[in-house]
Structure 1
């Protein structure tokens, strides 16, 4: 499954890179990208674990950028 999200309020390039790196390391993730310029996050992963992956990704975003709102794109 592949899904895109909008990261409203993302304002740190370094944080975006860290978020992407940590999401890529999650079990079941096949592909992850965080584009700072477009504030778009794309995650592709195992269908059976996708909800778990998205929840973990939201936690990672909140840890680095607590004010960012993650919305489905």
Structure 2
């Protein structure tokens, strides 16, 4: 399953790259793209575990960029 999410308050391209790197390391994630310019994040992950994976994605992103919000 692939879903795209709008990001709010992502402040720098370096943080976006760090978020993408952290998400790609999560178990069950097949692909991830975090685009600073468009403020969007696209996640491709296993259908059955998508909700669990998204909780981990939110945690990873908060650790890197605490002010960034993933609009779901």
Asked if these proteins are the same fold (TM beyond 0.5), I'd say: yes
Q: Deviations over 1:34-62 (max 9, x none)?
A: 00100100001101111111111111111
Give 5+ residue unaligned stretches, structure 2.
none
Alignment partners' CA distance in 2, 1:54 and 1:28:
10
Alpha-carbon offset, residue 24 of structure 1? 0.7
Structure 2 length-normalised TM: 0.94
Aligned length: 72
Runs of 4+ in 1 over 4 A off after TM superposition: none
RMSD: 0.8
TM-score w.r.t. the length of structure 1 is 0.93
Structure 2 CA distance, aligned partners of 1:12 and 1:53?
A: 24
| Partner SS for 1:47 | coil
Q: Distance in 1 between matches of 2:7 and 2:64?
A: 12
Q: How does 1:1-73 map to 2 (within 5 A)?
A: 1-72=1-72
